[in-house]
Structure 1
Amino acid sequence: MKGKGLGPRIWLWIAGLLLVWNGLFPAAWILFTSLKTEAELTRLPITYWPLEPTLANYERAFREAPLGRYFLNSLIVASGATLLCVTVAAMAAYALARLRVPYPGPILMALIALAMFPPATLVVPLFQIFTALGLRNTYPGLILPHAALSLPVAILVLYSFFKTIPKDLEAAALVDGCTRVQALRYVVIPLSGPGVFTAALLAFVNSWDEFLLALTLAPAKEMRTLPVGITLYQGEYLFPWPLISAALVVALVPVALVIALFQERIVAGLTQGALKG
């Protein structure tokens, strides 16, 4: 009996190792490239491990291009978009889950459709609107569209959690004198911690990685986010791979650390809402 189950288990292990390798190899290659010199990168045969590791590329990334400014811009935009998105999503999800909103089913279906809407179709109208309002090359001009892009998914995640909260808890809070907003803030949201955290993380990562709208709505050098700034490192005849790899590592580290530290909450937020909702 043991021998019969060994074969499928081996194939599962092989498939798992291939998936891990597929995810880790590109990240490791970028890290090793960031530690190489230009000469070592172009030499033959190819060296996978840097023969003489150096941090000069990281120094160049901060000295020759304002990588620190790009990092700060991304942090401000992603944090602002996350705060705005989660705030609006919590109120919208609460209204759908608790209040007598007409046609909640079609509204949820529309949110699913909006979540799959390609952002490229929004570039031209957003460019025209934000230019007329004077919001290009400003933080609000990036925070607003980034929050809107993540809003449908955040509403769906929070809605599935809010539906699991017993109504008696809110009723008790309302009897004690709380308003609907206070009941949402002090009762529903604390009990939906994994869902709120998951929605916030998804919104943050989406804003942190977004490129097209950031390039279109904030083209000024002092307003570029990390994806835009790193992409524009290349010149007309030069593609500095070690410098770009060093900048990519700087951009990937914050998100990787957050996911690594809070992976249990992320998985709980994605699975509990799906199972209970």
Structure 2
Amino acid sequence: MSKLPPHLLPDTATELADGSVAIGGVPLLGLASRYGTPVFVYDEQHLRNRCREAVDSFGANRVVYATKAFLCRAMARLVHEEGLMLDVATSGELFVALSAGVPADRCVLHGNNKSLEELRYAITAGVHHINVDSFDELDRLEALSAEGLPTPNVALRITPGVEAHTHEFIATGQDDSKFGFNLGNGDALRAVSRAQRSAAVELIGLHCHIGSNVFAASSFARAAEVMAGFAAPLDLPELTLGGGLGVAYVAGEEAPPIAEWARVLLDACRSLGVRSAV
């Protein structure tokens, strides 16, 4: 059996005398024998190390964990303990986070085509803000405001027209994406104008997401350039530059570390004079 390159293994992985692997001191063959296969094993120390790297790189209260990657109560508690906020895309994900003891104001409601019930639940719970994905969603928020619900903070999801150099099925930032308000056709500016005029929402920022499993840090720098140009005259408090950092799954793949990803993003924003919290 050939050895896996170290960068494909979690931080606490060690090779045992018989050539098998242990994670966190626990032999994987023993876990397979006890639970059968396939079995999913998470290295808690590895997860905490990556959370700390992200917070150290971007700063406190600037990192939001996308719970679609993996969510259970234990994971929600772990990322909260490490100082991350949680991105939830459904009322079910929000329920798991809240039931794990994560305060609602440490959660962001994300996702497209949110229902009235999901929006009502998030507003009533008091989430930090809602990432608004469409004009239909603004309609729903105005309907909830008419019911007398509190005015939520919102960020608008902008489609920046940036190719993420990832698989076409998980690219989300290109011009023909179904997600968010398109920058090129004027929808983004129309959405900003409507949100600023509306008494149903409090516009606090802009958000974009260029895709998942992105290996080229330069794609994020390009997104920062496009978003900064749009955001600068608006002078909003927050600018969220999202996307999934690439993960090496097989030999021959190399993903930039979180610290490098952060450096590229933050350097790009500084050079562009971005005043918003990134």
Band of TM-score, shorter chain: under 0.3
Relative contact order: is structure 1 or structure 2 higher (C-alpha 8 Å, sep ≥ 6)?
1
- When normalised by structure 1's length, the TM-score is 0.23
The structure with the larger Rg is: 1
Would you tell me which structure has more helix in proportion to its own residues?
1
- When normalised by structure 2's length, the TM-score is 0.23
